Amino acid sequence: MTTSWISRKPGRCGGDACVRDTRIPVWGLIEGRRLGQADADILRSLPDLTAEDLAAAWGYAAEHPDEIERSLWENEACMAEHDG
């Protein structure tokens, strides 16, 4: 599977890597997986995605672990700040 389905654009999702041209960031899919969601659960909750999209996201995350961890950390920090 290729990760060419993953794209990054400065004006979309803060420049985070997203699946195809959606606003679904790879780090969000990784977070779901870490919270125990199976691929079937993710696909049910995001019906515009395909199994191939998930495979591309998992491949991208494996090739760019530091980027994904940073995005997860930034999102968590933002949520903590927002919750006060």
**pLDDT of the chain along its 84 residues, tens only?**
444 689 999 999 989 999 998 999 999 999 999 999 999 999 999 999 999 999 999 999 999 999 999 999 987 887 777 666
The pLDDT of residue 42: 97
Give the C-alpha separation, 61 to 45, whole Å. Answer: 20
Q: From the CB of residue 43, how many other CB atoms can be counted at a distance below 10 Å?
A: 16
pTM for the model stands at: 0.85
User: Does domain 6-83 bear CATH number 1.10.10.10?
Assistant: yes
Structure tokens at 23: 């606003």
The pLDDT of residue 2: 47
DSSP string covering 24-39, please? -BHHHHHHHHHTT--H
The pLDDT of residue 77: 83
The pLDDT of residue 26: 97
The pLDDT of residue 44: 97
Per residue in 2-20, is it b (16+ CB within 10 Å) or e — as a string? ebebbeeeeeebeebbbbe
